[in-house]
Amino acid sequence: MLQLSFSLQEKLFNMPPSEFLQKEVSEQVASLKAGESVAAGREKCLTYASLLKETAALYENRGHDDFATGARQLALHVTLSVALENPSDVVADKLVGDLLAKLDPLQLHPPVRELLEQFNQS
Protein backbone atom coordinates (compact mmCIF):
# COMPACT_ATOMS: atom_id res chain seq x y z
CA MET A 1 0.00 0.00 0.00
CA LEU A 2 2.85 2.40 0.69
CA GLN A 3 4.11 1.85 -2.84
CA LEU A 4 0.66 2.79 -4.16
CA SER A 5 0.73 5.99 -2.14
CA PHE A 6 4.14 6.91 -3.56
CA SER A 7 2.93 6.10 -7.08
CA LEU A 8 -0.08 8.37 -6.67
CA GLN A 9 2.11 11.16 -5.33
CA GLU A 10 4.45 10.69 -8.29
CA LYS A 11 1.50 11.10 -10.66
CA LEU A 12 0.42 14.31 -8.92
CA PHE A 13 3.88 15.85 -9.21
CA ASN A 14 4.82 14.27 -12.53
CA MET A 15 8.27 13.49 -11.10
CA PRO A 16 9.78 10.74 -8.94
CA PRO A 17 9.44 10.99 -5.14
CA SER A 18 13.20 11.34 -4.83
CA GLU A 19 12.83 14.72 -6.59
CA PHE A 20 9.67 16.20 -5.08
CA LEU A 21 10.48 15.10 -1.53
CA GLN A 22 13.73 17.08 -1.66
CA LYS A 23 11.82 20.29 -2.34
CA GLU A 24 10.76 22.69 0.40
CA VAL A 25 7.04 22.51 1.16
CA SER A 26 6.43 25.88 -0.51
CA GLU A 27 8.16 24.54 -3.64
CA GLN A 28 6.03 21.39 -3.53
CA VAL A 29 2.87 23.50 -3.31
CA ALA A 30 4.08 25.74 -6.14
CA SER A 31 4.86 22.66 -8.28
CA LEU A 32 1.35 21.32 -7.75
CA LYS A 33 -0.21 24.66 -8.69
CA ALA A 34 2.02 25.37 -11.70
CA GLY A 35 0.04 25.60 -14.92
CA GLU A 36 -3.25 24.93 -13.15
CA SER A 37 -6.30 27.07 -12.51
CA VAL A 38 -6.66 28.28 -8.92
CA ALA A 39 -9.32 25.62 -8.25
CA ALA A 40 -7.34 22.80 -9.87
CA GLY A 41 -4.15 23.79 -8.02
CA ARG A 42 -6.05 23.84 -4.72
CA GLU A 43 -7.52 20.43 -5.49
CA LYS A 44 -4.12 18.95 -6.30
CA CYS A 45 -2.69 20.30 -3.04
CA LEU A 46 -5.59 18.90 -0.99
CA THR A 47 -5.28 15.57 -2.81
CA TYR A 48 -1.59 15.48 -1.91
CA ALA A 49 -2.37 16.31 1.72
CA SER A 50 -5.04 13.60 1.82
CA LEU A 51 -2.58 11.07 0.38
CA LEU A 52 -0.07 12.05 3.05
CA LYS A 53 -2.72 11.62 5.73
CA GLU A 54 -3.49 8.10 4.49
CA THR A 55 0.22 7.33 4.17
CA ALA A 56 0.60 8.35 7.82
CA ALA A 57 -2.09 5.84 8.79
CA LEU A 58 -0.20 3.12 6.90
CA TYR A 59 3.03 4.02 8.68
CA GLU A 60 1.23 4.02 12.00
CA ASN A 61 -0.24 0.57 11.35
CA ARG A 62 3.30 -0.70 10.70
CA GLY A 63 4.58 0.77 13.95
CA HIS A 64 6.54 3.61 12.29
CA ASP A 65 5.18 6.42 14.44
CA ASP A 66 7.95 8.89 13.53
CA PHE A 67 7.21 8.49 9.81
CA ALA A 68 3.47 8.81 10.53
CA THR A 69 4.02 12.04 12.44
CA GLY A 70 6.24 13.42 9.68
CA ALA A 71 3.67 12.62 7.00
CA ARG A 72 0.90 14.24 9.05
CA GLN A 73 2.97 17.37 9.66
CA LEU A 74 3.72 17.65 5.95
CA ALA A 75 0.03 17.14 5.17
CA LEU A 76 -0.90 19.83 7.70
CA HIS A 77 1.68 22.23 6.26
CA VAL A 78 0.30 21.77 2.74
CA THR A 79 -3.31 22.02 3.91
CA LEU A 80 -2.71 25.16 5.96
CA SER A 81 -0.97 26.77 2.98
CA VAL A 82 -4.11 26.21 0.92
CA ALA A 83 -6.56 27.06 3.72
CA LEU A 84 -4.94 30.43 4.38
CA GLU A 85 -5.48 31.40 0.75
CA ASN A 86 -9.21 30.70 1.07
CA PRO A 87 -10.44 30.90 4.70
CA SER A 88 -13.93 29.67 3.76
CA ASP A 89 -12.60 26.37 2.35
CA VAL A 90 -14.59 23.76 4.32
CA VAL A 91 -12.68 20.83 2.80
CA ALA A 92 -9.35 22.25 3.95
CA ASP A 93 -10.84 23.12 7.35
CA LYS A 94 -11.99 19.53 7.87
CA LEU A 95 -8.62 18.15 6.81
CA VAL A 96 -6.86 20.51 9.25
CA GLY A 97 -9.13 19.23 12.03
CA ASP A 98 -8.54 15.59 11.11
CA LEU A 99 -4.76 16.07 11.09
CA LEU A 100 -4.67 18.03 14.34
CA ALA A 101 -6.62 15.25 16.03
CA LYS A 102 -3.59 13.00 15.45
CA LEU A 103 -0.82 15.54 16.15
CA ASP A 104 0.45 17.12 19.34
CA PRO A 105 0.36 20.89 18.67
CA LEU A 106 3.35 21.37 20.96
CA GLN A 107 5.42 19.08 18.73
CA LEU A 108 4.70 20.91 15.47
CA HIS A 109 7.68 22.25 13.54
CA PRO A 110 7.97 26.06 13.80
CA PRO A 111 6.80 26.79 10.22
CA VAL A 112 3.72 24.59 10.70
CA ARG A 113 3.03 26.15 14.10
CA GLU A 114 3.21 29.65 12.56
CA LEU A 115 0.78 28.69 9.80
CA LEU A 116 -1.56 27.15 12.37
CA GLU A 117 -1.52 30.38 14.41
CA GLN A 118 -2.37 32.37 11.27
CA PHE A 119 -5.12 29.88 10.44
CA ASN A 120 -6.61 30.15 13.93
CA GLN A 121 -6.64 33.95 13.66
CA SER A 122 -8.41 33.99 10.29
Sign of torsion over alpha carbons 69, 74, 77, 83: negative
Q: How many domains does the chain have?
A: 1
pLDDT tens profile 91-118: 999 999 999 999 998 999 999 999 999 9
Global pTM?
A: 0.90
pLDDT digits (tens, 9 = 90+) for 35-66: 999 999 999 999 999 999 999 999 999 999 99
**Which range of residues forms the domain containing residue 58?**
2-121
Residue 104 and residue 113: Cα distance in Å, rounded?
Answer: 11
Task: Please name the residues in contact with 61: beta carbons below 8 A apart, sequence gap of 6 or more.
Answer: none
